[in-house]
Amino acid sequence: MSAPSNPGSGFVVIIPARLASTRLPNKPLADLGGKPMVVRVAERAQLSGAARIIVATDHDDIRAACQMHGVEVCMTRSDHPSGTDRIAEVARTLDLAPDAVVVNLQGDEPLIDPSLLQAAAGCIGADVPMATCAHPLHDAADAFNPNVVKVVLDKRARALYFSRATIPWHRDGFAQSQVDLPAGYVPLRHIGLYAYRNDFLQAYPALAVSPLEGIEALEQLRVLWHGYPIAVHVTDTAPAAGVDTPEDLARVRLLY
């Protein structure tokens, strides 16, 4: 993975990091080659050309680890229902301009491609308050896996819908076989990286939870349900997987 050839300078990366994790306790502080994971994530973000990188946390141990390694950190409330609410608080604390672009990078992505951060940020405009990323799927098992979130786009590369189901459904092809993907059929997998225009980020926590969001368990459907567009940058290759389990941590440690 390489840094963008022409990095921008106008966006801020905020990395929400909570110490609690069911499958991997103390995950943000897990050691990767002598540094905590959350610090490694911040180092990847620095390669994106972002103007500023801040870790958002409610735990003193994470704050201390960031400060030890020279990473900017901002303490938040502990009762936020989502990482989006947490980064919105930080953006308010920083008094960012309404049109500032904020990228939400999860604290368990130490192998993130920095160019994806810049690409998502570059999709934000006056008429596009939110952006994300996707990549093509070529494996039928992934296409039918409900844990792999799919997205369909319009002609302007804006999201029409996100789903755990196989979308778009290839009526004729899947009538013949669901073992292999039909020729020419390339569904898109959603990548959980988001960019926001700050005025929309501040408005987001007040949006009512949508029925679609409740059914699919996909928070981004709240945005579409309320009528806001989401731009989608499509990259050719799948990004490296994040760290959710002890097995993931062992895999990433080998790279460090």
Q: How many CA atoms lie within 13 A of 149 on its CB side?
A: 18
pLDDT at 4: 37
pLDDT, residue 155, reads: 97
Question: In the chain, where are the structural domains located?
Answer: 10-108+243-255, 113-239
**Residue (of 173, 148, 178) closest to 163 by Cα position:** 148
Cβ contacts of 141-145, under 8 Å, gap ≥ 24: 142/189, 143/181, 143/187, 144/178
**Check whether domain 10-108+243-255 has CATH 3.20.20.70, yes or no:** no
Q: Does CATH place domain 113-239 in 3.90.550.10?
A: yes
Which residue type is seen at 171?
R
pLDDT at 78: 84
- pLDDT of 77: 83
* 3-state SS string for the chain: CCCCCCCCCCEEEEEEECCCCCCCCCHHHCEECCEEHHHHHHHHHHCCCCCEEEEEECCHHHHHHHHHCCCEEEECCCCCCCHHHHHHHHHHHCCCCCCCEEEECCCCCCCCCHHHHHHHHHCCECCECEEEEEEECCCHHHHCCCCCCEEEECCCCEEEEEECCCCCCCHHHHHHCCCCCCCCCCCEEEEEEEEEEHHHHHHHHHCCCCHHHHHHCCCCHHHHHCCCCEEEEECCCCCCCCCCCHHHHHHHHHHC
pLDDT computed for residue 21 by the predictor: 67
Do the domains spanning 10-108+243-255 and 113-239 agree at the CATH topology level? yes
User: pTM, whole model, 2 decimals?
Assistant: 0.91
Show pLDDT as tens, one digit a residue, over the chain (256 residues): 333 333 334 899 999 998 876 678 889 999 999 999 999 999 999 999 999 999 999 999 999 999 999 999 999 988 887 878 889 999 999 999 999 999 999 999 999 999 999 999 999 999 999 999 999 999 999 999 999 999 999 999 999 999 999 999 999 999 999 999 999 999 999 999 999 999 999 999 999 999 999 999 999 999 999 999 999 999 999 988 889 899 999 999 999 8
pLDDT of residue 5: 35
Inter-residue contact 59 to 179 (CB < 8 Å) = no
Closest residue by Cα to residue 120 from 176, 178, 159, 62: 159
